[in-house]
Structures are given as structure tokens and as C-alpha cells.
Amino acid sequence: MKNTKYIFVTGGVTSSLGKGIISSSLAKLLQARGYSVTIQKLDPYINVDPGTLNPYEHGECYVTQDGAETDLDLGHYERFLNTPTSQENNVTTGRIYQSVIEKERRGDYLGKTVQVIPHITDEIKKRIRLVAKKYNYDIVITEIGGTVGDIESLPYIESVRQLKWDLGPSNCLVVHLTLVPYLPTSGELKTKPTQHSVKMLQEAGIQPDILVLRTQKKLSEDIRNKVALFCNVQISSVIESIDAFTIYEVPLLMQDEKLDETVLHKLNLPANQKPDLGPWKEFLKRLKSPKETVRIGLVGKYVELHDAYKSISESFTHAGAANECKVDLEFIHSEQINENNAGQKLGHLEGILVAPGFGSRGIEGKILAARYAREHDIPFLGICLGMQCAVIEFARNVLGFENANSTEINRRTPFPVIDLMEEQKGITTKGGTMRLGAYPCRVEKNSRIYQAYKKELVNERHRHRYEFNNKYLKDFEKAGMKAVGINPDTNLVEIMEMPEHRWFVGVQFHPEYRSTVLQPHPVFVDFVKATISLVREKNKTMKQQEIKEAERNLN
């Protein structure tokens, strides 16, 4: 058993400072120095997991390989570290209380009064140490959700205080992320909010070891000295985190600030191996110098909140860089697409993605988007509900199945081309009951999507209750929409494509959960490639028209 080291990342002043990105960047640097690292997120809400949350509340729900419905920060952890997370990497207050209450009912605490301290804090500490124990990591970084001072995160903060004692100073440290706002009227950076939030941590019994200061402007030596003095940390432990061009630049900025060296020094770990960030820098170079631009529309119903589609937009960043092209992602509200304006909303795009989702709101707009892509030979990717919409559209407008639908939307449709999975039929509770996590998919060799995967057996992550209804498969295949990915164990359709189309793919799974900086997902890479070919074709036609125009003018 290793002597695992623990790093806690807390946040102060405001939420949304990017604790997830700082945690991921630090983890990346430590990983690049040869350490095995994982990141865990502790969320202070009472839901047992975010699976039951509306995306407007908390952004996308990210799904791990082993089928946990988790916070979207876990997506960042995987995209940065290129290693999978698991059930243990996301813990909520709801889950902590659930297991303590279950133990109480079983009689495990018989005779005792069950209390926040020690029972809840013990359970929290157990969950923090479980990740290390199960997977034997050198370093576990635990991000504490919320902002220091919130009532609901108090038990987490108290657990960190206790663990600092239990483990001793060189085995555990606290990195506190705060904001140093710039006041344009006085032209100054202000440290007072940071001082206050550190004081709040100190009142809870925790002296942060390192302060990471989010800022719009460079921090002067004076500011750093002041923060060090007032917050009781060494000057080398005051780290600047300035606004970056992309989140993927943050590891390099943190390296410049020596965050990794400071951490290793405090944890008594050797820092002799220089971080190997070659492939990461290669990616950044491609990301920053694209050769062309494509416009892709993301059609969904939660588009007001871009975080609701975080993994999809990041997958496009990875796939764009892989193709040396910039993806201009346009968020299009599916409720605003109708028969009359589809051309105006979608006509200028080189790619259309119909997003995952649940329920009937905005569904007809998604179906129209799939239709527009099919009829105008625009590259199309439908993910989960997006694939189901493409199937419904094809049934209605190509097969002539009037009122075809998914039984999720219309239980009495005469053509249930998408129907509830057999295994879902007896299930009535909502939390954690979907088909979740990774399942195998056999890819038809003679297909377009095989060109992307170059593999016959793939594993992809799922989150759904409904499926393609195999009763209609022959009708679809005869008319030109083929099932080219099938689950070998259950025969469920996982990938549909239209061989006659430029690039038209629907996937029942979520490829976006598996795309990372170092391994962009092949489905996204190939989709973007198809959009580039359309851009080039458009450019060529435009040039030809210009030449013709010029010739006409000459004559």
C-alpha cells in the first residue's frame, strides 16, 4: 500500500472561479512528472447524484465508464488526465447521509446518537480515502464544491480539518482558490475579499498552504507580498492564475508559477523529473493556429446555458485541433426552429449536431433539424435523443410512417420507432435507473463510421431508457438508413448511418464523454473532417461562380 498524499482544493469569494480547471491543471502537471493522480469532487447538495438535476440547475450530467451520473467537473478531470474516473470520484452530501442513515437503520450505531461530528465527517473521510485505497494512487486531489462560508459545505471543511490532523502536514495540503478583483474606477487589484475568505477558513481551523489567485491583470510583487503577509502563507505559495485564452493553457500557466514544484516540496515528494508536456503543447499549438474554420450548429433545448453541453463543446475543441481547424459552435434553440425558418436558422452551417435530451419540449425543432441536414446533404451527428430524432424524421418523411414517434413523446404513436427498452419496463424510480455507463458495440466493417473508428469492437458510454425499435429495422435499411453499430450481447442498435449522404450518423451512446485532449473522439474527428470537406466544396463553387461572373463582365 502506498503512502498516498492528499490535496484539497477549496474556493472562496465567489463560485465559478474554476476550481475544476485548477485541480485538473495541477493533476496534469503532477501526472506529467510521473505521479499517478486522480481527482475527486465532493458536492454539497442533497441529491444523491446530479442525474436527477435539470441541466439548467447544474450544467451537464457527466457519465463515467462504470455508470455513475456525476458532476461536469469529472469531464474536465478525464479530458485533462486522459484516465477514467469512477463511482468513487464524485460524492454528494445526499450520498453521505444516505449511507449514514442506512447504517443507522441496520443498527450499526446501536445505542449512539448519530451526529454530524463524528458520523457524517467520518463517512466523508472514508469516501476521501476510499479512492486512494481502491486504486492505489500516489496523489488524490479532492475538490470541495461550493464556496467557503456556505452552510452546506461546513461538514466537508470540518472533515478536511480533521484529515489534516490525522495525516500530518507533509501528507496533506490545502490549496485555496480565490478572486482578486480589479476595480477599474481606482485602477487597482483588491486583496480584501481574499483576506476575508482565508480568515473564514482559518476560523474553521484550516490554514491554507497555497493560495491560487484568479485575476484579470498580472499580480505585482507588492500584491503577492501583501497576500502572503495577511493570509499567513509563504510568498512562494501565492500563485497567480490569470485569465487564459483557453482552459487548456492553464497547466502551462501553473507550471510557470511553479505550482507543481511548491506542492511537491510541501508534500515532501521529489520533483526531479521534469514534466513531460510535449503532446499537450502540440495540441495547444494546433488549437491556436487553425488553418480553416467550420460552422457547426448545436441544436438543443438547454442552449441558454452552455455548460449543459460542456462535453460536446470540448469534444469539438479536441476534434477541431486534430483537424487543424477552428470549430465555430453555434448554439441553436430547438424550440425556435420551425418549418418556415429552418433554412434561415440552419442553411449557412457546415455541420448540424442534434443534442441529447429528455421529454417533448423542443423535440419537433430537433426533428426538423435532422430533416434539414438529410435533405441538404449537410454533415449530421445525432447523439442519443439526437439519433432518435433522426430516426423519427426518417420514419415520417422517407418511410411515410405518419405520426411516427418515440413512446417517450407519444405513448400512443402508431409507429413507435423508438421504444422503451425491455429492461426499463418495470422501473418506476428515476435516480440512477437508466442504461448507464460503457457497453460494447460491434461496428460494421463496411460502413462510414468504421473509417473513423478503424476498429470493430468499441466501448461507449450510455445514458438513456429508450432504444431503436428493431421491429422496423428492415424498413429503414431498405430505404437507406443502416444500423452499422450493434451491441453484440443485446442486439440493441447503437449507430445508424446513411451511406448515400455526405456524413449522416446517429449514435445512441455519448461519444462526448470519452473525448480527451490526447485522445480526441474518432466520431467527432470524422464529423469535423466531413464539415471541412463541405467548406472546401462551398469555397470551390464560390470561386467558380466568381470566375464565371468575371468572364461574363469581360464579354
Q: For residues 13 and 178, is the Cβ–Cβ distance under 8 A?
A: yes
Angle between helices 221-231 and 192-203 (to 10 degrees): 20
Closest approach, Cβ 510 to ligand GLN, in A, equals: 7
Can residue 514 be called a binding residue for ligand GLN (CB under 6 A)? Answer: no
Out of 17, 223, 284, 384, the only residue in the binding site for ligand GLN (CB under 6 A) is 384
Which CA distances in Å does 34 have to 277, 323, 475? 11, 29, 54
Task: Give the residue with the Cβ less far from ligand GLN, 97 or 358.
Answer: 358
Binders of ligand GLN among 450-509, rule CB under 6 A? 463-466
- C-alpha 406/C-alpha 392 separation (Å) is 7
Measured from the CB atom, the residue of 128 and 384 that comes closer to ligand GLN is 384
Q: Does 94 bind ligand GLN (CB under 6 A)?
A: no
In the complex, minimum distance from the CB of residue 80 to ligand GLN, in angstroms, rounded to a whole number: 24
Contacts of 64 (CB under 8 A, 6+ apart): 70, 74, 84, 85, 86, 87, 89, 437, 461, 513
Residue 301 sits in the site that holds ligand GLN (CB under 6 A): no
Report the residue number, 347 or 431, with the smaller CB distance to ligand GLN.
431
Nearest-angstrom CA–CA distance, 227 and 229: 5
Nearest distance in Å: CB 112, ligand GLN: 43
Active-site positions read 384, 510, 512
Q: Which span (84-92, 193-201, 288-296, 355-363) binds ligand GLN, by CB under 6 A?
A: 355-363
The end-to-end CA distance of the chain, in Å, is 85
356 touches ligand GLN (CB under 6 A): yes
Could you tell me whether strands 351-354 and 482-486 are parallel, antiparallel, or unpaired per DSSP bridges? unpaired
**8-state DSSP, 444:** P
In the three-class reduction of DSSP (H, G, I as helix; E, B as strand; rest coil), residue 550 is classed as helix
- Residue 195 or 424 with smaller CB distance to ligand GLN: 424
For the bound state, the minimum distance from the C-beta of residue 421 to ligand GLN, rounded and expressed in Å, comes to 8
CB–CB of 278/43 below 8 Å? no
Binding mask 392-411 for ligand GLN (x = CB under 6 A): ----------------x---
What's 456-510 look like in SS3?
CEEEEEEEECEEECHHHHHHHHHHCCEEEEECCCCCCEEEEECCCCCCEEEECCC
Among residues 238 and 507, whose Cβ is nearest to ligand GLN? 507
Q: How far is the CB of 435 from ligand GLN (least distance, A)?
A: 8
Q: For the segment 430-449, give every residue that binds ligand GLN (CB under 6 A).
A: none
Closer CB to ligand GLN, 112 or 361, in the complex? 361
Helix (H) or strand (E) holding 14: none
Is 385 near ligand GLN (CB under 6 A)?
Answer: yes
For residue 419, list its beta bridge partners. 467
Residues near ligand GLN (CB under 6 A): 356-358, 384-385, 408, 463-466
